[in-house]
Amino acid sequence: MPSVSLADYLAVSAAMFVVGAVGFLLRRNPITMLMAIELMWNAGNLAFVAFARNFVDMTGQVFVFVVITVAAAEAAIALAIVVMVFRRRADADVDDISVMRG
């Protein structure tokens, strides 16, 4: 039985990243777009962990720790912005939001 190689993990990571990226470009609901961004973060994390295992080096795993922290901060701030936009207009389609003045 062939064992799982680094290339297999990277292929899954790449496919997941592209699904997230295309979803981010195509969707117009800001919350769904944020979830597509989360998919891309996690695809990157999978590649980091696979490389850490491949080179038997903990640096990749520590970097994933930082990435998860940044993702949490990004989600909190982005959702706060979404809440502010939705308070203004309940049917917030991101294509219609063109004013950044606060």
Partner 1 sequence: MTVLFWICAAVLLLTAVGVVGSRQPVHSVIGLIVNFAALAVLFLTLTADFLAMIQIIIYAGAILVLFLFVIALLTVGNQPIERGPGRLSFQTAPSVIAGVAALALLATAVRAAQANMPPVPPADFGSVANFGTQLLTTHVFAFEVTGFILLIAVVGVVLMAGRKEIRL
Q: Which residues contact 75 (CB under 8 A, 6 or more apart)?
A: 34, 38
Rounded to an integer, what distance in angstroms lies between the CA atom of residue 91 and that of residue 83?
A: 12
CB 5 to partner 1: min, Å: 5
CB 98 to partner 1: min, Å: 9
CB 47 to partner 1: min, Å: 10
Rounded to an integer, what distance in angstroms lies between the CA atom of residue 31 and that of residue 84?
A: 13
